[in-house]
A and B are shown apart, each in its own frame.
Chain A
Amino acid sequence: MSLQGKVALVTGASRGIGAAIAEQLAAEGAIVIGTATSESGAAAIGERLVAQGGAGRVLNVTEEGAIDALIESVEKEFGPIAVLVNNAGITRDTLLMRMKDEDWDAIMDTNLKSVFKASKAVLRSMMKARFGRIINIASVVGVTGNPGQTNYAAAKAGIIGFTKSMAREVGSRNITVNCVAPGFIDTDMTRALPETQREALVQQIALGRLGEAKDIADAVVFLASDRANYVTGQTLHINGGMLMP
């Protein structure tokens, strides 16, 4: 599934799923640019990716104009982006009755608006190249819902709808747009949950265990590769059988 020489941009690549995606894409030969919100995070990403020709960059996806500027500079330095992985995401979990406007807005800006901005910004070069792979990291929660995550679930479901519409718009230009919807993956985000909640969640997983970040990265590599040439508008559920839609 070689991605030799293809330029790939992965947002939120400093840890967890994003770090694994960046690593796996690079292992397949892609020139991977990973983003982090901090200088130190970007530097650490750069160290991991530089051997394969990649780099780390600072990006706050909610900062006005930041996504456009980053993509322009990456394309100038590394060439047209062939693979975009919209992975950056945060949680602000709380029951709806307690949810503040800023909890809602923070999730929408970071998790959903960033997908719109980045996908639009790479489209010009992808249309010209008559090739592009956009892979959006959604969540099982965007399909099932989850108490305490009305904001997060809404954003993730929004990503799935965005993906389907964009796939229809740009399919004729050989650009595919897909989602990967992780289930319960062992990352800092899920480690923040109370132990009892983690145990209850595992009970619902057919494979009886949490997933690893690499499991998600493998799905992303597949969708980025030419093995997935005829796959677009889909949501690939990687959840150990937690949900079978």
Chain B
Amino acid sequence: MENIEQRVKKIVAEQLGVNEAEVKNESSFVDDLGADSLDTVELVMALEEEFECEIPDEDAEKITSVQQAIDYVSAHLNK
């Protein structure tokens, strides 16, 4: 089983059509990885599916970087 960080990075790379090597923890979806607003919505949808959780809109808005996604998933999966 891959760890959360790897799984998040894989999804980010797939959704945004970038190389997995480009996806750094500090990467911002919009500024570094070229995502538009619809991409970020889709990304959250993909994360919800991968980790079988629901991410409320008010939380989704705060997930703007790879690290934030990792942190969010880590915090909510362990509950």
Chain A residues within CB distance 8 Å of chain B: 124, 127-128, 169-170, 172-173
Q: Is the CB of B45 within 8 A of A124?
A: yes
Q: Is the CB of B45 within 8 A of A172?
A: no
Question: Which A residues are CB-close (under 8 A) to B38?
Answer: 127, 169-170, 172-173
Interface string of B7-24 (1 = CB under 8 A from A): 000000000000000000
Interface string of B32-66 (1 = CB under 8 A from A): 00001010001001000000000000000000000
For chain B, the count of residues having a C-beta within 8 Å of the partner chain is 4
A173 to B41, CA, bound (A): 13
In the assembled complex, how far is the CB of residue A138 from the closest CB belonging to chain B, in whole angstroms?
25
Question: Which A residues are CB-close (under 8 A) to B42?
Answer: 127
A124 to B45, CA, bound (A): 8
A124 to B46, CA, bound (A): 10
Question: Which B residues are CB-close (under 8 A) to A127?
Answer: 38, 42, 45
A77 to B25, CA, bound (A): 40
Q: Which residue of A lies closest to B41 (CB)?
A: A127
A173 to B38, CA, bound (A): 9
Q: Which residue of B lies closest to A170 (CB)?
A: B38
Question: Which A residues are CB-close (under 8 A) to B36?
Answer: 172
A202 to B45, CA, bound (A): 50
CB pairs A–B below 8 angstroms (10 shown): A124-B45, A127-B38, A127-B42, A127-B45, A128-B45, A169-B38, A170-B38, A172-B36, A172-B38, A173-B38
Across the A-B interface, give the 3 residue pairs with the lowest CB-CB distance, nearest first: A127-B42, A124-B45, A172-B38
Q: Which residue of B lies closest to A169 (CB)?
A: B38
In the assembled complex, how far is the CB of residue A223 from the closest CB belonging to chain B, in whole angstroms?
22
A77 to B52, CA, bound (A): 21
A159 to B51, CA, bound (A): 36
A128 to B45, CA, bound (A): 10
A232 to B15, CA, bound (A): 24
Q: Which residue of A lies closest to B37 (CB)?
A: A169
In the assembled complex, how far is the CB of residue A106 from the closest CB belonging to chain B, in whole angstroms?
29
Question: Which B residues are CB-close (under 8 A) to A170?
Answer: 38
A124 to B42, CA, bound (A): 8
A169 to B41, CA, bound (A): 12
A127 to B45, CA, bound (A): 10
* Further contacts, 8 of them, CB under 8 A, given A127-B42, A173-B38: A124-B45, A127-B38, A127-B45, A128-B45, A169-B38, A170-B38, A172-B36, A172-B38
In the assembled complex, how far is the CB of residue B36 from the closest CB belonging to chain A, in whole angstroms?
8
A169 to B38, CA, bound (A): 8
A120 to B45, CA, bound (A): 14
Question: Which B residues are CB-close (under 8 A) to A124?
Answer: 45
In the assembled complex, how far is the CB of residue B48 from the closest CB belonging to chain A, in whole angstroms?
10
In the assembled complex, how far is the CB of residue B65 from the closest CB belonging to chain A, in whole angstroms?
22
Question: Which B residues are CB-close (under 8 A) to A173?
Answer: 38
In the assembled complex, how far is the CB of residue B51 from the closest CB belonging to chain A, in whole angstroms?
16
In the assembled complex, how far is the CB of residue B3 from the closest CB belonging to chain A, in whole angstroms?
25
